[in-house]
């Protein structure tokens, strides 16, 4: 672990709550939109710096969604496909849970939906915008360490369809390699701007913790073990030839409007196959509810790799009991050394436009709790 990562103990995953004006400016553009988005990013920067987080984002306030690739490449088109994921609401643990039941509306919804699907070659796709401009603004206006978040190359399996995508590629893996090559261009641009922390978001791995999802994929003939091996190598290779950058991966269990989630089950379902293959410096893992299972899988995280524990939920506004969070951190330290741990919120507060049912004040209090626990746990010279 390098010295700057040793000092990076308190962080948030990415997105912060957006105002209605912020959302309108992203969706509709028009006169004054740029000024509104600049102001929203400045507010996000100030909030995180005031709280004292060790690494910050711009709140992803300029994004239509956390995974933006279809916004920047024209090789995607809409097609009707199976919904794919079983989105649910309510928490089965966490502070003051009110519901443990799947959303009835989801169960009653049609079995298909319009989704972005790759139908052209990535390497021939026209670039539709400057996504690194988001980071340039953050770097210019921040006095704190900064990071940029990207959808992992492996996540882009979500855009593959055996029915529609073979017009462009013989197989999914060939497509994913071109996605990786495109994202290498993005990473190179970020590094040129001085970015030294890049986080890949990969809910595709978190989905594989869910027994129902795994059973469905296997019934479709998917070789999960082979896909994990390929995808881990793919994601790791994104940083080939890049030095001086903290490589982080957030393994998510689904985060959508209204606090919805899609995956239940401990990391033990994937940790043995996945964690040893990932060439990363930090793994951001969600541990805010019993859905995440025990801390046992932390033993599969490579020595020297920091496990950033998402112990505070972003899905509901109730504030966690500080002592309980500290107790859970101490429990995790019985599996992985405290010097190789850090703390964060479990996911973003607004991966989708509408955001989670959390108020701005609750968001602030949760981030303050992250910073307070981190700074007292890893005080100067203690780890």
Domains of the chain by start residue, with CATH: 3-377 (3.20.20.210)
Per-residue confidence (pLDDT) for residue 99, from 0 to 100: 31
Comparing 85 with 46, the larger pLDDT belongs to 46
Closest CA to 4 of 138, 141, 137, 144: 144
- CB contact set of 198 (below 8 Å; sequence gap of 6+): 147, 148, 149, 150, 187, 190, 239, 245, 246, 247, 248
Task: Answer for the pair 375, 55: CB distance below 8 angstroms, yes or no.
Answer: no
pLDDT in tens, 252-273: 986 555 545 556 778 999 999 9
Gap between the Cα atoms of 250 and 237, Å rounded: 16
Please provide residue 65's backbone torsions phi and psi, each rounded to the nearest 5 degrees.
Answer: -160, 165
CB atoms inside a 10 Å sphere around CB 369: 21
Gap between the Cα atoms of 214 and 227, Å rounded: 12
Q: Quick one: average pLDDT of 98-112?
A: 39
Q: How far is CA 15 from CA 50, 139, 254, 348, in A?
A: 17, 16, 14, 5
pLDDT in tens, 289-312: 877 889 999 999 999 999 999 999
- Indicate the pTM of the whole model: 0.90
Gap between the Cα atoms of 231 and 221, Å rounded: 17
pLDDT in tens, 72-81: 999 999 998 7
Q: How far is CA 250 from CA 107, 124, 150, 247, in A?
A: 28, 29, 10, 10
Q: What percent of the chain has pLDDT above 90?
A: 71
């Amino acid at each position: 672990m390098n010295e700057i990562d040793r000092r990076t103990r308190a962080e948030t995953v990415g997105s912060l709550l957006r105002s209605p004006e912020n959302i309108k400016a992203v969706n509709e553009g028009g006169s004054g939109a740029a000024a509104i988005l600049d102001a929203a990013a400045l507010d996000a920067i100030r909030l995180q710096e005031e709280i004292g987080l060790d690494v910050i984002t711009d709140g992803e306030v300029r994004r239509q969604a956390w995974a933006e690739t279809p916004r920047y490449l024209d090789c995607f088109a809409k097609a009707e496909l199976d919904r794919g994921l079983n989105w649910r609401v309510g928490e089965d643990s966490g502070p003051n849970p009110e519901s443990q039941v799947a959303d009835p509306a989801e169960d009653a919804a049609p079995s298909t939906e319009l989704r972005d699907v790759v139908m052209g070659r990535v390497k021939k796709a026209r670039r539709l915008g400057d996504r690194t401009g988001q980071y340039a603004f953050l770097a210019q206006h921040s006095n704190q360490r900064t990071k940029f978040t990207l959808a992992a190359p492996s996540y882009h399996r979500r855009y593959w369809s055996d029915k529609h995508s073979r017009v462009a590629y013989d197989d999914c893996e060939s497509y994913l390699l071109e996605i990786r090559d495109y994202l290498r261009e993005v990473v190179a641009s970020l590094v040129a701007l001085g970015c030294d922390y890049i986080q890949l978001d990969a809910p595709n791995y978190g989905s594989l913790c869910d027994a129902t999802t795994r059973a469905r994929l296997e019934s479709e003939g998917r070789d999960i073990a082979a896909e994990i091996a390929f995808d881990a190598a793919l994601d790791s290779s994104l940083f080939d030839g890049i030095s001086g950058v903290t490589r982080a991966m957030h393994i998510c269990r689904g985060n959508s409007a209204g606090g919805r989630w899609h995956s239940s089950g401990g990391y033990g379902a994937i940790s043995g196959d996945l964690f040893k293959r990932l060439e990363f410096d930090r793994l951001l893992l969600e541990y805010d509810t019993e859905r995440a299972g025990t801390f046992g899988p932390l033993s599969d995280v490579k020595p020297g790799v920091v496990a950033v524990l998402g112990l505070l939920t972003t899905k509901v506004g109730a504030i966690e009991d500080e002592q309980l969070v500290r107790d859970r951190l101490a429990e995790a330290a019985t599996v992985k050394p405290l010097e190789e741990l850090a703390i964060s919120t479990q996911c973003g507060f607004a991966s989708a436009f509408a955001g989670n049912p959390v108020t701005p004040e609750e968001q602030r209090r949760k981030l303050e709790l992250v910073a307070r626990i981190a700074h007292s746990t890893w005080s100067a010279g203690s780890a």
